[in-house]
């Protein structure tokens, strides 16, 4: 590791701060296209099945959690329905009301348990890693909700 101590008022060019003037960050891997992503998910024990929730959508599920993937504009896998708990074959949305998170489907709204939130988070991380997606800091900290609905903000 190269360290430098700078004196006040001294000028240093950026190339002297970098290690030998070379780029040290690894280049981002190109995301897989949808067919490669689905094959890779099958190889990692995900259940993959066609889904009518989106045109050309594919339901990817594992351990009671699922998401619907479609081909994005560049052919890479993109979410049509973000990861959520599976309730009667439907991927539920995660709703945050400030005091508690809820699992919401077209017919039901149920309080989310800690085990469900952990499963959604683990599924999201694994799905992102396998498909070559970007890992965001706020998503790495825990489960993010699809919708935020606070009673103090209702009607504003």
DSSP for 83-120, written as a single string: EEEEETTEEPEEEE-SS-EEEE-SS-EEEPPHHHHHHH
* Residues in contact with 75: Cβ distance below 8 Å, sequence separation at least 6, in sequence order: 33, 34
Domain boundaries, the chain: 27-153
Q: What is the pLDDT of residues 64-101, one digit of tens each?
A: 999 999 988 887 888 888 899 999 889 999 888 888 88
CA pair distance 95, 15, nearest whole angstrom: 48
CA pair distance 27, 70, nearest whole angstrom: 25
Does 5 score more than 60 pLDDT?
no
Q: What angle do CA 59, 65, 71 make, to 5 degrees?
A: 30
Length of the chain: 156
Q: Is 117 exposed, middle or buried (0-12, 13-18, 19+ CB in 10 A)?
A: middle
Q: What is the pLDDT of residues 20-53, one digit of tens each?
A: 555 555 555 566 788 888 999 999 999 999 988 7
């Amino acid at each position: 590791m190269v360290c430098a101590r700078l004196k006040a008022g001294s000028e240093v060019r950026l190339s002297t701060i970098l290690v030998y003037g070379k780029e040290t960050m690894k280049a981002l891997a190109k995301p897989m296209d949808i067919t490669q992503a689905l094959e890779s998910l099958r190889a990692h024990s995900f259940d993959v099945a066609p889904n009518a929730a989106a045109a050309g959508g594919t339901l990817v599920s594992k351990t009671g959690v699922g998401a619907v993937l479609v081909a994005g504009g560049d052919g890479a896998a993109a979410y049509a329905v973000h990861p959520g708990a599976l309730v009667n074959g439907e991927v539920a949305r995660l709703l945050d009301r400030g005091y508690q998170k809820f699992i919401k489907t077209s017919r039901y709204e149920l309080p989310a348990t800690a085990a469900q939130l952990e499963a959604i988070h683990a599924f999201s991380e694994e799905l992102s890693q396998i498909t070559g997606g970007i890992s965001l800091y706020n998503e790495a900290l825990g489960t993010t909700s699809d919708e935020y609905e606070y009673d103090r903000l209702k009607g504003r």
